[in-house]
Homo-oligomer: A and B are copies of this chain.
Amino acid sequence: MRGKLYGVGVGPGDPDLMTLRAKDVLEKCSVIAYPVRKLGEGGVALNIIKQRVDISGKEIAELLFSMDPDDEVRKKCRAEAMAKMCQMLDEGRDIAMVTLGDVAVYSTYMYIDREIRERGYETEVIPGIPSFCHGAALARLPLMIGEESLAVVSMAKHNLAKAEKALDSSDNIVLMKAFSSIPDIAAMMRARGIPLDRATVMSNVGMADEYIGPLDPERSYGYFTTVLIKKGD
């Protein structure tokens, strides 16, 4: 019998914030895989699951999905990763592909899922706690309440235009991967007359340099930085 591919969201970092289903699936699968853009990148999700799942005896497969500007390099990489996965599934092995946070939030797993299903294999997606839900819990702030709306924008490519549109049209705004955009976020708020204390920064949660507090444009922040702006109070 062919194996099954699971896309597993392992949550925001705290291993206890994995779901019961994620733990069951990770324990059952003989292969733990993760897609990376560069080899050696994938340590974070693995470190999370190790703390609650015994991974000894499992095959750990780092699958390279290159973001090289050259189309041919990307295609070749993708074909190799897909072939490797299909081979393991053909051998009857179940694969758990892990994603930090939730599988539907800025992860490439959904495309892999579609391609593997199109090749006739069975797959399943296990959702995980998104980092912004964890941040809101730690900051004791609702993402939305009553009739409030929420917008979520990634600042990975410093997407200030989308952030401004979101800020102008939603009550609350989550800006992910915001670490290098903090001064611009402050400027964007000032330009709209939104006091800076309406923004809460959640940075490197669970790490030595964790910071959860008001937005200070003079401070520097770690890589895993999310900002929640609540216009209304």
The chain A residues found within 8 Å of chain B, CB to CB, are: 7, 9, 11-12, 14-21, 23-24, 52, 102-108, 110-111, 113-114, 117, 125-130, 133-134, 136-138, 140-154, 156-157, 159, 162, 165-166, 168-170
Contacts and interface: CB of A to CB of B under 8 A. Distances in A.
Contact of A150 (B17, B144, B151): B151
A21 to B, nearest CB: 4
B140 A110 contact: yes
A175 to B, nearest CB: 10
Given A17-B20, A134-B127, A166 B151 contact: yes
Given A7-B137, A104-B143, A144-B152, 13 more contacts: A14-B21, A15-B20, A19-B19, A104-B137, A104-B142, A106-B142, A107-B145, A127-B134, A130-B130, A144-B154, A147-B162, A149-B159, A165-B169
Contact of A20 (B12, B20, B126, B141): B20
A19 to B, nearest CB: 5
B19 A129 contact: yes
13 contacts: A17-B20, A18-B20, A19-B20, A19-B129, A106-B146, A108-B145, A110-B145, A117-B140, A127-B134, A127-B137, A151-B151, A152-B152, A165-B169
Contacts of A106: 142, 144-146
A137 B126 contact: yes
**Binding site of A, secondary structure by majority: helix, strand, loop or mixed?**
mixed
Given A136-B127, A138-B125, A162 B149 contact: yes
A127 B129 contact: yes
